[in-house]
Every structure is written in structure tokens, then in C-alpha cells.
Structure 1
């Protein structure tokens, strides 16, 4: 039989990798719920016209179609596509359920999404995202733009114990950039933002050339845009440096000042609650045109080439039915990208690949029922237990457990005994009272070796 080749861009973890993924997801879920976010799940498909509202190209969307569909038949259903992120489905969810939701509405959502892009390190065609958003009805206070990156900082801090590298959450405010560009006399603000967003990928010279060609920027205007993008820092002096730069180019505007006030509030709060984690970086632009305030990107220290593992920002008009507007702010973690790096770099590992803590040996095939009784008694007390597949010699049954990382083997008899196959210690045991050490009860995720 020919060897089956894996499909590129569709990750499938081995059991120990799945343990790591589930630990990450569980940690995120607990953190989000601790901060008051309610969990939801939306359908996998949306009308194609809605998926393309964000300005994404159709090349990234997988269209849903029945294999035996008649191409000549009149189909009254809307053309559907698999969602490529969770923002558009959530915006639709808010509009459909606005009358049943209490605002501000805080939600988290952990689901698979599909994106038709070229697979590469950390980028997949099918992957898991974990999103948090806060949405208001008509208005949303700015303090939520401060709260969300700090919630994510808490989530990453909760994962630090398993070997997650330090993270840096880079923040900016679109009002700062837009106000500065307008003050310079650049009218194509969206075009400038899109090009500045490419700075890390193509470099300053290429960005300056693109600003001139696509946005009509003069050499001095392009130079000013790059100088703004070079400013970063983790304290309020960032605000002073931007004000000085704007004054030197006579580019101060009311919009710029509003953005600086908001950015300063975020940096000051982060310096207290997550010192060193949140950093203002004026080159963070987030090229999508629906962001209107704070924008965020997150990198793993030492793994910056992986790109952002968590991004988002403030949006004011993404969820709107023409009469009512629901502004919000959200952040999204690329869980599959994060887990992929944790596993491939050996940063974390599972203590075992199966949940089983105890393998109950089988003395002989006629006495399997006795082993089943022991396993059932252990499971009833919350201890993961399995029964050996066959009544081989005890040495082979121990080898079976060792290959799977199962720490204990139970030997039924007139007096039951349980053996820690790592240390060799064997003691008398009773299925109604014995229990393994807490650290052996379930698989754990620990730093890699």
C-alpha cells in the first residue's frame, strides 16, 4: 500500500501534542471566564458577500458547494463560504441576537477557521483561533481598550509555567497615526496605514517608495511617517516623543491629541498591571480598514520570525444594521500557530500521551472480569484506568504500560498490589481507597527538556 502523504496546511497533532493543545485551550478558557467573558460558538459558514465585507480577497475564502449540485439548477440559497476568522461571524451573531444580549457584551469564542493561503511555518489552512471581544450598543467606553490586552497578558502569564516564552504585546492607536498623517497633508490615510503595516516585511526603503508611488507622499512626508513608526517604549514618554515629532513637522491635530491621550492611558495602566509586557510601538498599523482606535499585535520573544500570535483592535462600525451600531474591541490568538511553535521547538512536553494513570494487569484470560471490576472501581473514584489488552506475562504488560507512559500497574489477586513502574516500588492496594499522587492523576504539560 502506498504511503499516505499529509495534506499541507491541515495540522494533526499526535496524542501528546493534543494534550498540549488542550492544556492551552483550557488555560485560555479559564482566564477568559475569570474576566467575565461568556463562551459562544457560531456556525462554520457565512454568506460569501458577508465574508468579503472586510476587504479580504476571494482567494482566501473556501466556498461551500455540494459535489452533486446541478450547475444549471436555480439555487435560491445564498452562496456560502467557510469563515476565515471569527470576527465576521461574531458581528453577524450580535446583529441577529441584539435583543437577547445584555450590553456591554463580553464573549470568548474558540473554534476552527479556514483560510486559503500558502501554508508555511505557523500558518495553516485549517486552524484554531481563540477570540475575546467586548461589544457595546451605540457606544463603548475606552477603558475596554485598556482591559483587553491586559486580559491577554494574564492568559499568557498563566501559560508561562509550562515553558511559553515571554510575550510582548505591541500597541498603537489608529487615531495617532491618522491624525499625524492628516497633519502632514496626506489624505490617503488608509493607503499609508497599509504600507506602514508592511514595514517589518519589506523594510523602510520599500515602504518609502510605496508611500510615494501609491499615496503621493513627498520624500519629507515619507520620512516623517517612518520616523513616527520608529517610536516605541513602555512608558508615557512615548507620548511626549510623538508630540515633539508632530511639532517639528507642524503636524499636530486634534485627532492626534485624542489618540495620544488614549494611548498614554493604556501604557500607564499596563505599566502597573503587566510591567514590561505591553509596549507602545507606533509602527503597528493593522492594515484592515475597520479599525478605529487601539490596535494590538503580540510576538513571542526569541521567536519574532513567527509573526504575531495575537492581534486585534477597536472597531466602531463592523457590526451595524444601518440603524444601530455596535462598536467593539477584540483580540484573537492563533492557537494552532502558538501550539505548532511550542511543539516544533520542544518548548513544552506532555508527561504522558494517554490519560490512563493505572493499567490493571490481567492474570489470565479467564480472570479478565476481575481486572474489569478493579478498573471500574478506580474510574468511579475519578482515577483514569485501563485494562491490559491481553493476559501476557506481567513483564510484557509492564512494557505495554511503559511505552504509553502509564505510571502504575495494578496486579489483582488475593491481595491486590500496585507498582510504580518508574521507581519499582510495589505496595498492597485497595481499589476503594488507593489513589496516585496528584501529579500523576492526569497528564500534565511541563517545560521541554
Structure 2
């Protein structure tokens, strides 16, 4: 019986998922990121200290209480993202890491939220982060969206648009307006797409102490959007000044201009983007998938100065995360992806008789040694049934062992073409060797 929010893909979908993960992993490594994996659980106080997440955390508890268990065992929760565990990992291993440290992580995370299309309680994220001791040069912020653009640009998906903002722009603007509780304003504005401008304005008055004029100014800022540095003039026209606002605008210009040079149209300055988690301090990113905007962001992240810190040690960082399961779930829901076959097998070696299985296994072994995915037919049925077995699974080739000194032959069951072949030298076209993943 299916459990809502815990997806299980069929074999063809799983192949598509693996194709996506391989592409993402390869791109991350091309940019020099090293792979790590962190444990699935973290202390509860660590998880609850990083923003409004208390309703999302799954606790880890034993069904039967063990009187001898450590008292801390009931204070563990499953991680809801990969950034918080990464920060802890950096602090614990700082003496063994080389900085700046570039890492990627591809793991499952768990969130106790209401399941809906593309939103799950168990899902895979693919994260990259760069951290450094004491300070982190800003150019790493400009690099993040370019990497994500490269990773997603090689996949058979609709066009992506990365929306960027800078928390300093928002906080400096709110401060310049005279609003003291900038964190509350940020959290409220972050709900803009969910509840609309009228309700956001009401909540700003109710929860952040804003006047109606201040709330309207916040909405005017949030409405600014551009693919180039023209957003700066739009902000200046609002007549608010603050040193932090100036700093944020300068940084945001760098991100937008770097992206325009690398991949025109990839990045948009979107000043309504705030990100709800408290640990972001500067650049923030969200990504829309063309045609799927109503489902929200498929990647997100940003700059954090104080997430990884203990005592006098501070490791600022910047990172971005791809919601892999979220992306796939949305596309699967629209039947927007297809695999040319549901299994990796390229060749089925037909079995003429049970006593020739060892011979067929040797043929399969020769093909596998040269990287050709091969299996031997399960039974020595009539050749017509063995061909049907391959056809039903989308396998393009059937190999027929020769008899009485005759050469082997291989048949392309799609075209019906059949030719003599030697397992030591024959190869399929590159397009047939592995399943092809494409947009439907």
C-alpha cells in the first residue's frame, strides 16, 4: 500500500533518476567539488536552531524504550536539509579539511510537510557548498548559479530560470524604512507567492509593526525584477537609503552580470526572493522551471556567514541545492520524460537448448567485458518467444549462437536485420548501448 509522500519509482523512472543524478554528479565534479555523505540524524537542538522548521522535523525514537539507552537518543531528528549537517561536519573536521572546501552531497532528506505534487516527505537533494575560514570571497556567490545552469542545462527538461536576490538589499531597505524587525519582514515577504500581496501587506502591519505606507514600500521593492543591472535604478527610485542596501545592490549586480556573460537569460534579479530559513545572510537563489512555475522552486540556496561557527571559529559559506525528487516528480506527473527502454540490457543471448547455457553465458561474458549490457534468455523456449521476451522489455538486439560450426548472428528486432557476428568484436551503435533518456 503506497504511503503518501514517500515516492517509489518504476524501473524506467528509476533509470531516468539515475541519469539525472549522474549528470548532476559529473557537473559538480567538473567544477572541483568533492563528495561527502553525512549521517541521517542530527541533535534536535541543532535542527531547531536554524529557522522555522520545528513542524517539519521527524524524531528518531525506538518503539520499545530501552532503560539503558543514552538520554540523548530521544533528542535526535532526521535531517530536513543537507546544509545544517554539512555545517556540523565542517566544524567537527576542520583540522582535516583544506579550505576553501568545495563539497557536494547527494542524499535523502526528510520533512514532515503536507505531501502534494512534486513535494514529498522523503526525497533526494543534490547540494553544493563552498566554505572557508573567517571570510569567503564573493566570487563564489557568482559561481553557484552558473554551476546549476550547467547541471540542469544538460538534462531533457524545460528551460530553467534562476532567480537571485540579496538579503542585504531587503534588510537594508527595511532598515532604511524604519522597520526594526527585519527578520519578520523577510519571513512575511517570502510568503508573497503563496498568499498574495494584499495578505502580505496585512501581515506586515500585524506582525512586523509596519505602517500601511511601509508595507506598500516593501511590496514595491518585491515587485522589482530584471535580467540586468537596471534593478539598481528601480530600487533607487523608491527613495530609501542605507549602507547595507548599497552593499547588497553591489553584490547582486556582480551575480547578475557574471551570469549574463556565462549564460544570457539564465539569471534574473527578483527582489521578492527572501528564503525563509534564518541562516541566509546575503545572496539567495531560487529556480523556476518553465511551465511549472506554479509549483515553486526546484533549486534554492544562498550565502550564510554564521551557520558553521563555534567559539572563535567561523566558516562562512555559500551553497545551492537541487530538489532532485521534486524536479522528477513534477515531470513524471506530466509524463514529460521517457526512457527508450525500461531495462539497461542491450542484448539478449538466445538459448537454443538448456545444455548450451554455459556456451551462452560465455558469449554474454565477452559482450559485457566490452561494456555491452547483456543477459541470457531465461528459458530455452522457441526463438519467437525469446524474441518477444526481448521486445516486451524494449531490448533492441537478440544474439543467436551458431550451431555445428556456423557463425553466431545478431538480430536488430526493430528492423528485422540480422547479420553474422563475433562476440569478441561486435558492438552496437552508441545510441543503443544504453537507454536513451529524453523529453516525451
Residue of structure 1 equivalent to 2:91: 95
Residue of structure 2 equivalent to 1:367: 356
Is 1:63 matched up with 2:59? yes
Q: Is contact 2:167–2:283 with CA below 8 Å preserved after alignment?
A: yes
Which string of whole-angstrom CA distances, capped at 9 and with x for unpartnered residues, describes residues 301-342 of structure 1? 111011100001110000001211100011011000111122
1:172 pairs with 165, 169, 181, which one? Answer: 165
Which string of whole-angstrom CA distances, capped at 9 and with x for unpartnered residues, describes residues 101-142 of structure 1? 111111110001111111111111110000000101000011
Which string of whole-angstrom CA distances, capped at 9 and with x for unpartnered residues, describes residues 35-94 of structure 1? 111111111111111111112343311111222223x55634442211111011100100
Residue of structure 2 equivalent to 1:319: 308
Is 1:415 matched up with 2:407? yes
State how far apart, in whole Å, the 2-side matches of 1:140 and 1:118 are: 36
Residue of structure 2 equivalent to 1:333: 322
Residue 378 of structure 1 aligns to a residue in which SS? helix
Q: How big is the shift at 1:343?
A: 1.9
Is 1:75 matched up with 2:104? no
Residue 85 of structure 2 aligns to a residue in which SS? helix
Is 1:142 matched up with 2:131? no
Residue of structure 1 equivalent to 2:214: 221
State how far apart, in whole Å, the 1-side matches of 2:395 and 2:374 are: 9
Q: How big is the shift at 1:271?
A: 1.1
CA RMSD of aligned residues (A): 1.1
Is 1:393 matched up with 2:386? no
Residue of structure 2 equivalent to 1:230: 223
State how far apart, in whole Å, the 1-side matches of 2:307 and 2:115 are: 28
Q: Is contact 2:52–2:276 with CA below 8 Å preserved after alignment?
A: no
Tell me whether 367-376 or 206-215 shows the greater mean CA deviation.
Answer: 367-376
Q: Is contact 2:118–2:327 with CA below 8 Å preserved after alignment?
A: yes
Which string of whole-angstrom CA distances, capped at 9 and with x for unpartnered residues, describes residues 280-309 of structure 1? 001001122211100110010111011100
1:117 pairs with 113, 131, 136, which one? Answer: 113
Which string of whole-angstrom CA distances, capped at 9 and with x for unpartnered residues, describes residues 254-290 of structure 1? 1111111111111111111121110000100112221
Q: How big is the shift at 1:447?
A: 1.9
State how far apart, in whole Å, the 2-side matches of 1:366 and 1:73 are: 59
Matches within 5 A, 1:9-408: 9-70=5-66, 75-78=70-73, 79-159=75-155, 162=156, 164-245=157-238, 247=239, 251-408=240-397
Residue of structure 2 equivalent to 1:438: 430
State how far apart, in whole Å, the 2-side matches of 1:181 and 1:198 are: 16
Q: How big is the shift at 1:376?
A: 1.2
State how far apart, in whole Å, the 2-side matches of 1:74 and 1:26 are: 40
Which string of whole-angstrom CA distances, capped at 9 and with x for unpartnered residues, describes residues 413-449 of structure 1? 232111000000000011111111111111121121x
TM-score of the aligned structures, taking structure 2 as reference length: 0.97
Which string of whole-angstrom CA distances, capped at 9 and with x for unpartnered residues, describes residues 210-260 of structure 1? 000111111110110000000000011111111121x2xxx2011111111
Tell me whether 53-62 or 256-265 shows the greater mean CA deviation.
Answer: 53-62
Q: Is contact 2:169–2:247 with CA below 8 Å preserved after alignment?
A: yes
Residue 375 of structure 2 aligns to a residue in which SS? strand
State how far apart, in whole Å, the 2-side matches of 1:129 and 1:326 are: 22
Is 1:428 matched up with 2:423? no
State how far apart, in whole Å, the 2-side matches of 1:223 and 1:168 are: 27
The runs of 5 or more residues in structure 1 that have no matched partner are: none
Residue 128 of structure 1 aligns to a residue in which SS? strand
Q: Is contact 2:158–2:289 with CA below 8 Å preserved after alignment?
A: yes
Q: Is contact 2:51–2:279 with CA below 8 Å preserved after alignment?
A: no
Q: How big is the shift at 1:15?
A: 0.7
Residue 174 of structure 2 aligns to a residue in which SS? helix
